[in-house]
């Protein structure tokens, strides 16, 4: 019965660690500016998306741990829902990491050749 609680808790902690590694800490300031201000900037849109992903990760982890605690009391819980939420959070973190690495670019707007060489480390 302990394994039914400990395993989802460990999986949730690993997913939270992976989300922290991939996404970094959420910054609610730019995310709220994205919602409240005029036309959003790219940084504000990324901050809002990061905050949304964090909300999904935290809610799925809380659901998995809560359902596991409930399952420890009642054996009739749905283990497929727990497995599905763990898979969904893992895939979401993986997709966020892939998108982050594929879309990273060094902005070059109006600089000199010397600034460009310094930016790429030559």
**Predicted confidence (pLDDT) per residue in 25-41, tens digit:** 888 888 888 878 778 78
Give the pLDDT mean for 62-79.
69
Selection from 71, 67, 64 nearest residue 90 by Cα: 64
Please answer whether residues 106 and 118 qualify as being in contact, where contact means their C-beta atoms are separated by less than 8 angstroms.
no
Please answer whether residues 64 and 11 qualify as being in contact, where contact means their C-beta atoms are separated by less than 8 angstroms.
yes
**CA dist., res. 111 & res. 58, Å (int):** 41
What pLDDT is stored for residue 84 in this prediction?
A: 77
**CA dist., res. 61 & res. 80, Å (int):** 15
> Structure pTM?
0.55
* Residue 50 scores a pLDDT above 80: yes
């Amino acid at each position: 019965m302990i394994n039914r609680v400990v395993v989802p808790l460990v999986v949730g902690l690993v997913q939270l660690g992976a989300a922290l590694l991939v996404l970094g800490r959420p910054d609610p300031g730019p995310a709220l500016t994205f919602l409240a201000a005029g036309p959003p900037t790219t940084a504000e849109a990324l901050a809002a998306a990061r905050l949304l992903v964090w909300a999904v990760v935290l809610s799925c982890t809380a659901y998995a741990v809560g359902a596991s605690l409930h399952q420890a009391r009642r054996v009739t819980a749905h283990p497929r829902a727990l497995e599905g939420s763990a898979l969904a959070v893992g895939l979401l973190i993986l997709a966020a990491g892939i998108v982050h690495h594929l879309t990273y670019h060094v902005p070059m707007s109006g600089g000199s050749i010397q600034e460009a060489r310094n930016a790429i480390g030559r």
